[in-house]
Chain A
Amino acid sequence: EDKVVQSPLSLVVHEGDTVTLNCSYEVTNFRSLLWYKQEKKAPTFLFMLTSSGIEKKSGRLSSILDKKELFSILNITATQTGDSAVYLCAVEARNSGNTPLVFGKGTRLSVIA
């Protein structure tokens, strides 16, 4: 069964800290890995990763994928209170008879001033 595990489940940091969120997966016919940010409402897309070792970056957020070790990390530097959210990792499977998109349970990040 396809599986995505995120760690830690929750994290509390102070403004200015750097955080690393982890996502490991077991999926047949891997196609891509996606990161989303979910505040009080619907998820919003952050990154899609398909190739190993290539960092995707957007401002203070960056992410990288390791297809050999089957994990990805999401880094947030110089955290701000606006970064407080649940961060979701999802893995897309290619032409799978099972669900094509499997989500982890998320990491709840709280940034305090």
Chain B
Amino acid sequence: DSGVTQTPKHLITATGQRVTLRCSPRSGDLSVYWYQQSLDQGLQFLIQYYNGEERAKGNILERFSAQQFPDLHSELNLSSLELGDSALYFCASSVGVHSYNEQFFGPGTRLTVL
């Protein structure tokens, strides 16, 4: 158990819908990272927040948005869902801002868009 929690574990929804994925970082960690893992694209970095501020942005679609709240938990919002958004979404956390070698991954949320 990494100490990073993600909810829900599984989510099944229809095209065009909007969903929110939630992540609680490890105690003391200030950075939260979001990743998408699909069969065809592999693991992709989406976005990083550090202490409430956006710090790095990857291949995140405009239909997706994220935020980190004062209590440091983070939410990833996915809207106008398409079949291709079906994937495993990971959240990770770390203490520092450039700490890819120290990040701990959560168990993931599996999103299925029908």
Contact = CB atoms under 8 A, between A and B. Distances in A.
Nearest to B6: A42
B108 A105 contact: no
Interface string A84-113: 000010101000001111111110000000
Interface in B1-28: 2
Interface residues of B, number: 20
Interface stretch (A17-25, A43-51, A59-67, A69-77): A43-51
A32 interface: yes
A12 B54 CA distance: 41
Q: Is the interface of A mostly helix, strand, loop or mixed?
A: strand
A34 interface: yes
Given A43-B43, A88-B43, A101-B45, A32 B105 contact: no
A42 B58 contact: no
Given A32-B100, A42-B2, A48-B100, A102 B107 contact: no
